[in-house]
Structure 1
Amino acid sequence: MKKFDVDSKEVPIDILSDYILKNPEKIYGIHHNKMEELVGSVFKEHYNCEVHHVGMSGDGGKDLILIESDKSIVVQVKRRQSRSKTETASCVRDLIGATLLNGSRDCIFVSTADHFSKQSIKHKEDALAMEIIDSFELFDIDKFMGVLNLHTSEREKLWKELIEIK
């Protein structure tokens, strides 16, 4: 049986998602590219959309592009090394700019931090109120882990149904 380090770029996403659900504190040690892939995998199911991984050095603030019907959603993923980190207003402003420069009006910010600063939430609300952005979701670690749990539970349910059919 092949073994993987949690910070490896080689670990399969299904194995990683199961492992993170059982060991949530380990999410802070996974490779940042794997975090982006994990978010993409979870959101592909959650939003029933196509996912393009575009994150790299100098990506302009976008790591994933979700294609849902005719709408593109820009996603920024921040894998912090500590839960106690706070996502700042500048990160949210950067995502708003990246979203507009991408020709989109919809965005999602996913972070392993436990919260977003009051000013970052205000920037999000202001962008929506001024109708600069049509939709803007903030996922802190707890919200993301909830969706990851739902995603993994659905996958397990599907496998159980397939096994029972035989």
Structure 2
Amino acid sequence: MSINEISRDEFDSLGIERHGFFPERAWFRSTELNLAGTVILDPFDKDWSYVLVAKDEDGTYRYIEGEVSLPSHQDAEEKLFMSATRIELAGAFQEELYTEPESAAQDETSLIITSIDDEVKKYLKKHPERLYELSPRKFEELVASILKDMGFDVELTQATRDGGRDIIAHVRNAVCSYLTHIECKRYAADNKVGVGIIREVIGVHHIRKATKSIIVTTSFFSSDAVKEAARMENQLDLKDFTDIKAWLQRY
């Protein structure tokens, strides 16, 4: 195994952009691949997470894998080592990570920034780490498009408004109309959605009398947020980065 612990200064020298706010406690780097990782402590939930990043063709390190809400520093390190070792041993994964199909590489910026279509969803299926590069509004458009493909009639609320429902979705038939409000949060991988957002969405849910509310995030949810949402188990769903990746598998 070629995953070695390094100093923070060595990690910083890689030029990896930080998007989160929680303190890093240990840093690692592969001697075989342009692969690095860090173990992070959540000072609020007192749990641990890890993040793995890899160097892309443009020289930028981007998120490829991670896990949150782990019980201890040791658990986070073990998970990081297991994931990094699996990536190293896969061999073929290196090519897939660093080499993009010619069609996707030709105009990557316009692919992500213009309209959301099936080609964009196919691209994000192969490169889910690029979800973090979408603007918040484009992330909302992506979620709306996926829901439309699932059979919902969707409406995006105005981009300037922040009223706890970025997307209004209906399933209508001859018997009933099923109203769903969706709140989208395009957060960094280690910036977990907290209990405050859950309470805001619950408040709007009751005021607007929706059948169901859903919070969708590129990140994950704090343990307090999960507990709060459980009080409305049949009316509020939480969808995180793992769920979005599962949705994209249909494309």
Report the TM range for the smaller structure's normalisation.
0.7 to 0.9
Q: 1:14-40: CA deviations, max 9, x gaps?
A: 232122112111110112111111101
Q: 1:102-150: CA deviations, max 9, x gaps?
A: 221410110000x21111111111134xxxxx42111010011101212
Q: Tell me which residue corresponds to 2:140.
A: 36
Relative to structure 1, the CA distance from residue 107 to residue 137 in structure 2 (aligned partners, 3 Å threshold; closer, same or farther) is same
Distance 2:229 2:143 in 1: 21
Distance 2:154 2:218 in 1: 20
Q: Tell me which residue corresponds to 2:162.
A: 59
Distance 1:54 1:63 in 2: 5
Q: Tell me which residue corresponds to 1:116.
A: 221
Partner amino acid, structure 2, of 1:123: E
Whether contact under 8 Å (1:5, 1:11) holds in the other structure is no
What is the SS of the residue equivalent to 2:122? Answer: helix
Partner amino acid, structure 1, of 2:221: F
Q: Tell me which residue corresponds to 2:245.
A: 145
Which structure shows the bigger proportion of residues in strand conformation? 2
1:73 aligned to which of 180, 185, 203: 180
Instruction: With the length of structure 1 as denominator, give the TM-score of the two structures.
Output: 0.77
Q: How far has the Cα of 1:99 moved from its partner?
A: 1.6
Match status 1:88 vs 2:191: no
- Among all aligned residue pairs of Structure 1 and Structure 2, give the percentage whose two residues are the same amino acid: 23
Which structure shows the bigger proportion of residues in helix conformation? 1
Distance 1:6 1:83 in 2: 24
Q: Tell me which residue corresponds to 1:164.
A: none
Whether contact under 8 Å (1:35, 1:79) holds in the other structure is yes
What is the SS of the residue equivalent to 1:67? Answer: strand
| Structure 2 stretches lacking a partner, 5+ long | 1-102
Between Structure 1 and Structure 2, how many residues are aligned?
A: 143
Distance 2:238 2:110 in 1: 25
What is the SS of the residue equivalent to 1:116? Answer: coil
| Structure 1 stretches lacking a partner, 5+ long | 129-133, 153-166
Q: Which has the larger radius of gyration?
A: 2
Distance 2:125 2:163 in 1: 30
Instruction: With the length of structure 2 as denominator, give the TM-score of the two structures.
Output: 0.52
Whether contact under 8 Å (2:167, 2:182) holds in the other structure is yes
- Report the more deviating stretch, 7-16 or 25-34: 7-16
Distance 1:79 1:7 in 2: 18
RMSD: 2.1
Match status 1:126 vs 2:126: no
Tell me: higher relative CO, structure 1 or 2? Use CA pairs within 8 A at least 6 residues apart.
1
What is the SS of the residue equivalent to 2:144? Answer: helix
Q: Tell me which residue corresponds to 1:100.
A: 206
What is the SS of the residue equivalent to 2:214? Answer: strand
